[in-house]
Amino acid sequence: MTRKSTAENLLAQILDLPEAAQTELVETLLDLRAQQLGIYQLDDDERAALAPSTEDIRLGRFPSPEDVEETLARYHPAP
């Protein structure tokens, strides 16, 4: 049996599983595919943590280049 026919057979069997198991398998397959493509999916906690930054961007609130340099110098001083 080829890899393709094995995969097709397994995918057909998914339809016989309970809905919760189908959902879990689909989510797992989507995660694996995203990993292969280098796509990262945010979870709800990560999305919530980024919301304030998204709002800052939307409102055009950015640090000045001087502020960035000052912060970098403070935490990463030159050797």
pLDDT at residue 1, as a whole number: 79
pLDDT along the chain (79 residues), means of 10: 90 91 92 87 92 91 92 87
What is the 8-class DSSP label of residue 76? S
**pLDDT attached to residue 18:** 94
| Six token digits for residue 38 | 């280098």
Cα distances (angstroms) measured from residue 52 to each of 3, 7, 13, 72: 46, 43, 44, 22
Q: Say what the pLDDT of residue 40 is.
A: 82
Q: pTM for the whole thing?
A: 0.45
**Helices (H) and strands (E) in the chain — how many of each?**
4, 0
DSSP secondary structure, 8-30, as one string: HHHHHHHTTS-HHHHHHHHHHHH
